Structure 1
Amino acid sequence: MKVLVAVKRVIDYNVKVRVKPDESDVDLANVKMAMNPFCEIAVEEAVRLKEQGVASEIVVVSIGPAKAEEQIRQALALGADRGLLVTTEDDQSLTSLQVAKTLQAVMAEEKPDLVILGKQAIDSDNNQTGQMLAALTGLPQGTFASRVTVEDGKVAVTREIDGGLQTIRLSLPAVVTTDLRLNEPRFAKLPDIMKAKRKPMDKKSLADLGISMDSGVTIVKVTPPAERKGGGKVASVEELVDKLKNEAKVI
């Protein structure tokens, strides 16, 4: 069984995000980048399926600038077999629909039995790509997966819903998006990092896949969140109630 995993290059979650002075976008100059945490979970789950003897090949795809090769190599070090980088311009930001259409084109060539994605990226937080990809390809989808089991040509996905947990069975091929509680990603060992440098990785452009770079979405303005004001102390319950009523106006 071939598993296709999509990974995204994002700002490291430990870095404080800065906005450009002209408020046109987020400032990426000299900023530490990393693999999206939800994508790490997706890679880990694919590797575990291979260790169980379920998956025979893991293909990792990323869509982004040439530097996104670093994140693909990281996935290869974790146990993926080969990578594919769909290159974009350094300052080009793709919408969820453009990403989904690109992955659809990749799937048409790779013909995977299972596609695993992180449920969302920590930069845009859209939580749309997996659902759009399933709609474009007409495949069944299991979102917010906290457990994945493949057997008898089907994949059982336990997903978190408002009322608790729901388990669904999907016919393969299928699309699965991962939640935080699915697994704990491993760390790459030095020998595996060295081996990853020799693993095959192809490069293609959006034009090669027939994907339009024109987007119907335009970023109008990016602003940082408002700074929170410091709290204060009150001498009595009466004063607290008065401030909540007359200043905060929450009661």
Structure 2
Amino acid sequence: MGNIVILTGAGISAESGIETFRAETGLWAQHRVEDVATPEGFARDPQLVVTFYNGRRAQAADAQPNAAHKALARLEAEHQGEVLVVTQNVDDLHERGGSRNLIHMHGALNSALCGQCDNRWEAPMQMHVGQTCPACTAPAARPDIVWFGEMPYQMERIFEAISRADLFVAIGTSGNVYPAAGFVAEAARAGAATLEINLEPSAVGSQFDDALLGPATQTVPAWVNDILKRG
């Protein structure tokens, strides 16, 4: 199958207890996106934003990688070609599941970012407003999360990998958030086969060549077994 690029979204972590962006209960339901996931929201009420991500960080720390995360790590370890996982998720379940070739395009809960000098360091479980940067000492620490209106990380590397992919797979994504929702079209233009693995078709589901529908903990391990059997 050659090189495989896999985009993962909230659906792959939902079965580990990490609520999806559109969950009707939990942390996201208690806040407006504009208040906790935009630079303007952070400027307006940094305490609210820091507290919100402290809660998300605690939730992620309590979660465990599931069979889908572990299956993708197995694919990376055993597949003959390159396997790159590009995740929209900010939890670390892919890493704890064993994935190593991984891009967090929307940032990571376990990372802190200096708004003054762009230095990154390991975030404490409880961040606080005005926390100082260990590099420049500015009191400008913020969660290392790509908020709405900001540019996702490592886009050049992602598009370069998609241009070389023989297969592009999207797992547990809504297809509503760009630029990630445009990756399937980019992969198709580059000549890659495309596959969506999801509970139900996403907003861009019609653009994929094939689909596997069902819970990620069932569909992803079965798909990985099939890829590895085919060599």
- Normalised by the length of structure 1, the TM-score is 0.38
Q: Which has the larger radius of gyration?
A: 1
Task: Answer 1 or 2: which has greater helix percent.
Answer: 2
